[in-house]
Structure 1
Amino acid sequence: MSYFGIGLHVLVAIYFAIHAVRTNQGMYWLFILFVFPLLGSVVYLFAIYLPSLRHSHGARVATQAISQFVDPNRALREARADFDRAPTVQHRMRLGDALLAAGNPREALEHFQAAANGPFATDPALLLGLARSQFALGDYPSADATLSNLFSVNPQARNQGEPALLYARTLAALNAPGTRAAFEQALTCAGDVAPRCLFADWLATQPDSADHQRAGSLYAEIVQDAKHWPRHAREHNREWLERSQAALASGVGRS
Structure 2
Amino acid sequence: MPYLGIGFHVIIAVFFAVHAVRTQQNMYWLLILFAFPGLGSVVYFFAIYLPGLRQTRGARAAKRAIGQLVDPNRAVREARDAFDRAPTVDHRMRLGAALLDAGEPKAALEHYEAAASGPFATDPALLLGLARAQFATGGHAAAIAALERLFASQPQARQQADPALLYARALAASDAPGTRAAFEQALSCASDAAARCLFADWLTARGEPADRERAQALYAEIVHDGKHWPRHAREHNREWLQRAQGALGKA
TM-score category, normalised to shorter length? 0.7 to 0.9
Is 1:62 matched up with 2:58?
Answer: yes
Deviation (angstroms), 1:183: 1.0
Map of 1:8-157 to 2, 5 A cutoff? 13-15=12-14, 18=17, 23=25, 24-25=28-29, 34=38, 45-54=45-54, 59-72=55-68, 73=72, 74-157=74-157
Amino acid at match of 2:232: H
RMSD of aligned Cα (Å): 2.9
Deviation (angstroms), 1:48: 4.1
Q: Relative to structure 2, which stretch is displaced further, 229-238 or 169-178?
A: 229-238
Unaligned runs of 5+ in 2: none
* Matching residue of 1:239: 239
Q: Distance in 1 between matches of 2:196 and 2:138?
A: 22
Q: Distance in 2 between matches of 1:174 and 1:85?
A: 39
Q: Relative to structure 2, which stretch is displaced further, 90-99 or 222-231?
A: 222-231
Percent identity among equivalent residues?
A: 59
Aligned partner of residue 191 in structure 2, secondary structure:
coil
Q: Distance in 2 between matches of 1:129 and 1:160?
A: 14
- Normalising by structure 1, we get a TM-score of 0.80
Deviation (angstroms), 1:29: 6.0
Deviation (angstroms), 1:130: 0.6
Q: Distance in 2 between matches of 1:176 and 1:20?
A: 51
Deviation (angstroms), 1:21: 7.5
Q: Relative to structure 2, which stretch is displaced further, 150-159 or 43-52?
A: 43-52
Q: Relative to structure 2, which stretch is displaced further, 228-237 or 203-212?
A: 228-237
Q: Distance in 2 between matches of 1:128 and 1:21?
A: 40
8 Å contact kept, 2:216–2:248: yes
**Number of matched pairs:** 240
Amino acid at match of 1:121: A
8 Å contact kept, 2:17–2:29: no
- Normalising by structure 2, we get a TM-score of 0.81
